[in-house]
Amino acid sequence: LSLSKLPSGISNLVSLHHLDLSRTNITGLPQELKALEKLRYLNLDHTRFLSIIPPQLISGFSKLEVLRLLSRGRWSVLEEEEGSVLCDDAEPLMKELLGLKHLNVLSWSFRSSLAVQKFLKYPKLVSITQSVWVECGTYTRPPFNVLHLAYMENLQELELGSSKLEEMKIDSTEEVKKLFRNGFRSLNTVVLRSCRGKDLTWLVFVQNLKQLNMQGFTMEEIISVDKLSDISEIIGSEHNIFARLEYLTMWRGTNVKSVYPNPLPFPKLKKIQVFHCRQLKKLPLNSSSAKGRRVVIEGTKKWWEELQWEDQATQNAFFSCAVLWEDPYY
């Protein structure tokens, strides 16, 4: 929406319970919103120009139950911004939220690894967070360690944008067992945009993964053969990390050559989309991967022609549902 400023008369809506400003161009919230004392739901998701939230404004919504702040906004330049709780990695806002007794759903954004560490100090906020957006910078030091989010028990959606991801290093058998048992328990959707890193082997611990969407990524392997071997010795080789996967999307993976080293069963899979991943010549499929399900594979005709199949039966099994496009830039 083109809305960039809230009308002055909004303070008259004293009985308002629900305010959805998502995907608008607002730059800040006015003090006049304090009059909305009955507000229960406030959605600021995807407000890319949002830079100012006055101190004590959000904490004044004593009945607030849902706050959505999944934003790629201008927080990162707010260190010197006066009169806003979004400065200093938004920790002032974190502290305000602690006083909201009815708050039970939160979505949040991070601009640095330090911001994540600050957030994790507040167990109440961690426990109610369902969606997270992380954008730390592709050349940031230190790189972002995704495993820091592993024990956010209600985290369902994770989006990583323009971030350099730390290579996964597991120091002990007990750590692997703990991650496998308790890590990412609710996470079902992972989105990566313009991320750099070695691989995404940490997905082994996302056992309820339903949607994996990768765009503009640099990894050669999604799941590392070597790291998977080390982990499998501890959790067992029979574990299928994509047992619940429904949608797999890969766009502009210029270096990717492998999703997974071997064919896998995909009992829930509905669709695979692959575009501009020229080096990806093989998918982790065989003739029994879909077990009679009609799985759509979408990509360019040229890419399909260069795919290497486990055998002819595998190609035949997936060809009938293929959606293939011409691509003059392939």
173-218 confidence digits (pLDDT tens): 999 999 999 999 999 999 999 998 999 999 999 999 999 999 999 9
Percentage of the chain surpassing pLDDT 90? Answer: 71
Neighbours of 282 (CB within 10 A): 16
Cα–Cα distance, 60 to 46 (Å, whole number) = 23
pLDDT of residue 89: 80
Residue from 173, 175, 225 nearest 199 by CA: 225
pLDDT of residue 74: 58
Q: How many CA atoms lie within 13 A of 132 on its CB side?
A: 31
Mean pLDDT, to the nearest integer, of 111-138?
A: 92
Contact (CB, 8 A) for 55 and 83: yes
For the chain, the average pLDDT equals 91
pLDDT of residue 87: 75
The more confidently predicted of residues 32 and 327 is: 32
Q: What is the largest CA-CA distance in the chain?
A: 68
pLDDT at 98 over 60: yes
Residue from 189, 147, 190, 141 nearest 164 by CA: 141
**pTM summary value:** 0.92
Contact (CB, 8 A) for 13 and 36: yes
Helical H segments across the chain, by residue range: 91-97, 113-119, 123-128, 173-182, 225-235, 301-306, 312-319
Cα–Cα distance, 97 to 64 (Å, whole number) = 10
